[in-house]
Structure 1
């Protein structure tokens, strides 16, 4: 009887929400899209009890309060492109989606800011900044699908962290709904504002466990007037370190990306993915370097002179420099092809780890050997942003479905080595539930205890995205 009463109470709350927010704001049963049942983590989907799609913070607050009245867990959702189940629901939860909270509210060229709704896709923000003669530097392979609220909730990284920092560095103000339904609005545009605690940092990177982000004030930058790109082959990792140092010194603030691909990655993309090598496969490791400036007439010759100097100093085996936008896109395609590894390699397990730059090659060598020795038939490839301390790897056993991949064994090896070298189990993708077991490999017991204290203070009932991160 109690169960029937709870269902009746929930149905009444959902009916009231539909009356308040509109007929399209609450989806039930067969009307719930498959996309709201999972993120991109390739784990089994779970159907939420309902999907609520508010238009603003007031609607989010109403949904939160309705869930609290019946004691039902709720999870915030954006573009659902995460890889760690941070925004994935569990069976019977309510999903509060920002998919209808879309739009650019204001672009202020004087303060170089943009105010946007949390469900706005990253690519829309990039294009709006560009049309205004400005630049928003955050860039991810999922740019057309991911939502800015999700980018903030995971503190996304991407290709240009070396120059502009993580997402955290690109945010000035927030509007957020707390787990009790309180709306906190601080759409600050000031670069300097030390008036008390900087509360936005509680929510950026918290993966929707401390509050639901509804609006954001973003920092914009001057639009680059020149972009120079080169793909380089190098003999070994020590040469990469010397090349990185030369790029920091020779290019200075122009340096915007420094992507490294080990030989196993190069072999996979050129022999299995059908990528036509833009450079002879004569190196043992490959670097894609990008510089962006404000004066094309001066920047391009400077880049060319710098690259020739590094060649003369023996740092490079070979290099090719882009001469057009199409060639630039072709060079970047070599690095971005990893987004198609699902089709190229079949089922595989992806890792996103943080390491000191000096130890990345050591880690890659040890990890590759350890996986192959412990798991028969296990292959792995290595690549990453490197200059900002972010290494990616994928591992797989050919012929096995994703469910049969020995993920637990792989995790133990990869994250065990991460702990050994003092790294992080997550550089830019978050924890969610996928990495929760291994959080202690990167955070101390006292740090995790403080995280739990913060969670309990803001969400004492444990209804907002429970069981995620900690």
Structure 2
């Protein structure tokens, strides 16, 4: 869309008149606003809106509502389901300027931030203040808090601290007509009527735009014990998990599984060092947040020794320094480079009951190898919360092949009573598969809520439902 055509649009005229050219970028969009990590092809938006605060965003949305203008919300653009990719003629609302960390209250255990604050910046600020923000995922350096809330992001610490939902005490949301809904609760207990924030956590922006968040913080650990261990198969990993949870009194804060194919590819793509001397079928990255590093570290090592004696794990490397631990995590978090080097990829984020993850991986792998023996499929995930990731590399781009590969994965998930989206959301890419995990009645109620809060359907249209 040329600048002239965009400027000729009545809604763009109204937005530019109200906010000026600095906050309303009309015309050809910057390439970074046209895509996210999913690789989904989008269209050219009419304009990029860059509000600095809730009041500006509210007035922008009200103008769009008055003109029936479709809006797509963008955060850090790290999504893998195309939810933030603009469609032709939509207006992009970018939250990149709404990035203030407003306050950190260690005594109350809360942080209040704008939705555009980058996750790692909030983590670092909380750590400097002596507190822990437990939301953590590999895209921490780019993803934004608002996007984490909108997708109810999971990540590496769910096994101990839960999804993002468990870390949200309060929200501020702008509705489709510009109404500001303030739910900035700062208490752990508040049963004064319905807790409306849960409508918007995980709703992917189709019901309202998250603008500010009150986050629950935890005490900052005094240390962390980390190890990378090798195992024979998933059954051994499950036994090891039960043993670790029992031995460490539920203090396991991460339990990340990587099949050999993923670990080998991540090491290669990121030019990392192979972590153990041998070559094993399955690897687990485990760590424990410690209150007493010396004694807790001894408990951690004793737990590993017992697991080796029992035959559940074949080898283990214990991090002797922060640098060692970071090297282990660099393998697990190296997915962005894998997606870059092996594009185009199909990325699956599914969940099944924890006991069924191993069978799910075996069945999915068999389906893929049977029909596409030339493709490389990588398996990894978060064992403690039932989340399995599958990356299929260099996939053919014709619609029939893509659909058949998706069905090869999602049919297994449906048979096991699982979810087609564990933590990335539905967006555009998974919309046609939502019925594999949600009943007709559930989807109908979602649409009823959408119609009630956004009767014109202008917020993130065509996403999720």
Q: Please say if residues 175 and 215 of structure 1, whose CA atoms lie closer than 8 Å, have aligned partners that are also in contact.
A: yes
Give the Å deviation of 1:402.
5.4
Distance in 2 separating the partners of 1:405 and 1:343: 23
- 1:441 corresponds to: 436
- 1:3 corresponds to: none
- 1:414 corresponds to: 409
Q: Secondary structure at the match of 2:347?
A: strand
- 2:15 corresponds to: 17
- 1:206 corresponds to: 203
Structure 1 stretch displaced more, 100-109 or 257-266: 257-266
- 2:163 corresponds to: 166
- 1:290 corresponds to: 287
Q: Please say if residues 233 and 286 of structure 1, whose CA atoms lie closer than 8 Å, have aligned partners that are also in contact.
A: yes
- 1:247 corresponds to: 244
The alignment status of 1:144 with 2:141, answered yes or no, reads yes
- 2:93 corresponds to: 96
The alignment status of 1:183 with 2:180, answered yes or no, reads yes
- 1:451 corresponds to: 446
Query: Deviation digits for residues 147-172 of structure 1, max 9, x if unmatched?
Result: 11011101111100001100001000
Distance in 1 separating the partners of 2:356 and 2:8: 53
Q: Secondary structure at the match of 1:371?
A: helix
Distance in 1 separating the partners of 2:283 and 2:185: 42
Q: Secondary structure at the match of 1:253?
A: coil
Give the Å deviation of 1:403.
6.5
Distance 1:258-1:133 versus aligned 2 partners, 3 A rule: same
- 1:51 corresponds to: 48
- Of 352, 356, 361 in structure 2, the residue corresponding to residue 355 of structure 1 is 352
- 2:193 corresponds to: 196
- Of 58, 63, 83 in structure 2, the residue corresponding to residue 61 of structure 1 is 58
Give the Å deviation of 1:349.
1.2
Give the Å deviation of 1:145.
1.0
- Of 103, 106, 113 in structure 2, the residue corresponding to residue 106 of structure 1 is 103
Q: Please say if residues 413 and 419 of structure 2, whose CA atoms lie closer than 8 Å, have aligned partners that are also in contact.
A: yes
- 1:4 corresponds to: none
The alignment status of 1:75 with 2:72, answered yes or no, reads yes
Distance 1:371-1:153 versus aligned 2 partners, 3 A rule: same
Instruction: Name the TM-score, length of structure 1 as normaliser.
Output: 0.94
Distance in 1 separating the partners of 2:415 and 2:61: 42
Q: Please say if residues 262 and 382 of structure 1, whose CA atoms lie closer than 8 Å, have aligned partners that are also in contact.
A: yes
Distance 1:343-1:181 versus aligned 2 partners, 3 A rule: closer
Give the Å deviation of 1:286.
1.0
Distance 1:8-1:81 versus aligned 2 partners, 3 A rule: closer
Distance 1:124-1:267 versus aligned 2 partners, 3 A rule: closer
Q: Please say if residues 61 and 177 of structure 2, whose CA atoms lie closer than 8 Å, have aligned partners that are also in contact.
A: yes
- 2:367 corresponds to: 370
Distance in 2 separating the partners of 1:9 and 1:50: 9
Distance in 2 separating the partners of 1:266 and 1:189: 41
Give the Å deviation of 1:226.
0.9
Distance in 2 separating the partners of 1:436 and 1:468: 7
Give the Å deviation of 1:290.
0.5
Q: Please say if residues 7 and 26 of structure 2, whose CA atoms lie closer than 8 Å, have aligned partners that are also in contact.
A: no
Q: Please say if residues 158 and 385 of structure 2, whose CA atoms lie closer than 8 Å, have aligned partners that are also in contact.
A: yes
Distance in 1 separating the partners of 2:38 and 2:378: 19
Q: Please say if residues 269 and 338 of structure 2, whose CA atoms lie closer than 8 Å, have aligned partners that are also in contact.
A: no
- 1:128 corresponds to: 125
| RMSD over aligned Cα atoms | 1.9
Give the Å deviation of 1:123.
0.9
Structure 2 unaligned spans of 5+: none
Query: Deviation digits for residues 368-391 of structure 1, max 9, x if unmatched?
Result: 111121235233121111111100
Structure 1 unaligned spans of 5+: 1-6
Distance 1:100-1:318 versus aligned 2 partners, 3 A rule: same
- 1:466 corresponds to: 461
Give the Å deviation of 1:9.
9.8
- 1:425 corresponds to: 420
Query: Deviation digits for residues 342-374 of structure 1, max 9, x if unmatched?
Result: 344342211100111111111111111111212
Distance in 2 separating the partners of 1:377 and 1:354: 26
Distance in 2 separating the partners of 1:237 and 1:387: 12
Q: Please say if residues 231 and 286 of structure 1, whose CA atoms lie closer than 8 Å, have aligned partners that are also in contact.
A: yes
- 2:275 corresponds to: 278
Residues paired across the two proteins, number: 461
Give the Å deviation of 1:38.
2.0
Give the Å deviation of 1:271.
6.1
The alignment status of 1:39 with 2:18, answered yes or no, reads no
Give the Å deviation of 1:267.
3.9
